[in-house]
Amino acid sequence: MHFTVEAQNFAKPHLTAGAIAVDATCGNGFDTLFLAEQVGSSGLVYGVDIQSRAIETVRAKLLEAGTLQQCRLVVGSHSQLNAMIEQEHAGAVSVVMFNLGYLPLGDKTIVTKPETTLAGLDQAFEMLRPGGFLSVLAYPGHRGGQEESQCVADWVARHADVIRSERFQDPGNRNSPVLWALIKVVGAGV
Ligand SMILES: C[S@@+](CC[C@H](N)C(=O)[O-])C[C@H]1O[C@@H](n2cnc3c(N)ncnc32)[C@H](O)[C@@H]1O
C-alpha cells in the first residue's frame, strides 16, 4: 500500500471546488498541492509546518503549479491550529490531513510529538464540518513513533461515538506506517 497516495484517495471525495482544507504537516508540500488542486481557486487551503524551510519549499511548489493564491501557509505548530484559521471557517473545514514524523531527507530531530499531535487532532476535529474527513498517517518505525501511533489509536478510540474510523497497516509488519481514515459523524458535538 502506498500510504500517502491512499490518504489522498480517501480525502478526494470530500473535496469540492470552493472547499476549505488544512494540511497540518506540509513537509515537502505533496498533500498541500493535492488539496489546493482539489479546492481550486475559489477554495482555501491552510498549510502548516513547524519548519520555515519546509514552508518555503511548499511556497515554491505551489507557485510553480499556479495554486499559491488559494493557500495560506503558516510557520508554527499544529497544536495552535485554532489560532491559525479564521473564526468563520471553524466548523466548515472539509478535510484535514496529518502526515506525522519527520521531513524526509530533512532534520530527523524535528519530528511530531504525541502532546502536540493530540492537541492538533482535538482542534482539527472541532474545525471539521459534520461529515468532514481527517487523515492521520503515523510511522511506528522511528524512535518515538510507536508511542505516537499508540496515542493516535487511543485518541481515535476515545472518539468512537463521534468518528467513523478505518485503520490500515501492512499485515505482519509492526513497523509499517499506519493510516487512519476518519469521518466526523453528522450530528456529532465537539
Ligand atoms: C512526514 S513530514 C510531512 C510530509 C508532507 N505531508 C509532504 O507531503 O511532503 C512531517 C512534517 O511535520 C512537521 N512537523 C513536526 N512537528 C510539527 C508540529 N508540531 N506542527 C506542524 N508541523 C510539524 C515536520 O517539520 C515535517 O515537515
Q: Where does ligand 1 bind, in terms of residues with CB under 6 Å? A: 25, 27-31, 48-51, 54, 77-79, 99, 101-103, 110-112, 116
Which stretch of DSSP H or E encloses residue 151? Answer: helix 145-158
| Tens digit of each residue's pLDDT, the chain (190 residues) | 799 999 999 999 999 999 999 999 999 999 999 999 999 999 999 999 999 999 999 999 999 999 999 999 999 999 999 999 999 999 999 999 999 999 988 888 999 999 999 999 999 999 999 999 999 999 999 889 999 999 999 999 999 999 999 999 999 898 899 999 999 997 755 4
**Which of 6, 22, 26 best tests ligand 1's pocket when mutated (most atoms within 8 Å of CB)?**
26
Alpha-carbon 183 to chain mean position: 13
Residue type (1 letter), 44: L
- Torsion of Cα atoms, 81 then 54 then 175 then 3, to 10°: 80
What is the CATH code of the structural domain delimited by 3-184? Answer: 3.40.50.150
- How remote is the CA of residue 187 from the centroid of ligand 1, in Å? 31
Q: Which grid cell sits at 13?
A: 471525495
Give me the sheet containing 71-75, strands edge to edge.
71-75, 44-49, 20-23, 93-99, 128-138, 178-184, 163-169
Look up the pTM and report it.
0.97
